[in-house]
Amino acid sequence: MMDAEGKQGKREEKRREENQILDGALLFVFFFLVVPKVQRKKKRRNETMSYDDVEIEDMEWNEELQAYTYPCPCGDLFQITKDDLKLGEEIARCPSCSLYITVIYNIEDFSDHNRNNKPLHPSNPQSLTVA
C-alpha cells in the first residue's frame, strides 16, 4: 500500500513541477514576446503618424472653440474638447490638414467625479453688486 501511495505522491509532485514549468514558459512568452510586440506597435503608430506629443499644460484653452488648442505647422490649430478628454481621447486633430498630435494628460483631471475639486483653468471672476 505504501508503495502505491508513494508512487501516487511522486506523480502528483511531478505534475506540479511540470505545471510550474508550463506557467513559467507562458509568462515568458507573454512578457517577452507579446507585450513588446504591442509596445512596438503602439510606439510605431505614434512615431509614424502623430506629429508630436504635447502635454495638456502646454496647450491653450480657446473659449470660442470650447477646446484646448495648439499651433499646427499649417497655420491652423490642433483641437481637442473637454468632452473628448473625459472619454479618454488623446488625439488632437487639425481641421485644416491631416496632422494630429498626441495629448498627454491625466484623465482623472477631466472626470465627472473631479468636478468638485479645483479646475485645471480658473474660471473668470464675476463681480457681485451688494445693495
Categorize the per-residue pLDDT at 81 as very low, low, confident or very high, splitting at 50, 70 and 90: very high
Categorize the per-residue pLDDT at 27 as very low, low, confident or very high, splitting at 50, 70 and 90: low
Instruction: Please give the C-alpha separations between residue 25 and each of 16, 18, 31, 76, in angstroms, as whole numbers.
Output: 14, 10, 10, 52
| Architecture of the CATH domain 53-114 | Roll (3.10)
Task: Check whether 71 has a pLDDT greater than 60.
Answer: yes
Secondary structure class of 71 (helix, strand, coil) = strand
Rounded to the nearest 5°, which phi and psi values hold at 86?
Answer: -60, -35
CB 70 within 8 A of CB 78: yes
Residues 6+ positions from 32 with CB-CB distance below 8 Å: none
Task: Check whether 68 has a pLDDT greater than 90.
Answer: yes
One-letter amino acid of 41: K
Of 2-11, 23-32, 63-72, 82-91, least confident by mean pLDDT is 23-32
One-letter amino acid of 112: D
Using a pLDDT cut of 90, give the percent of the chain over it: 40
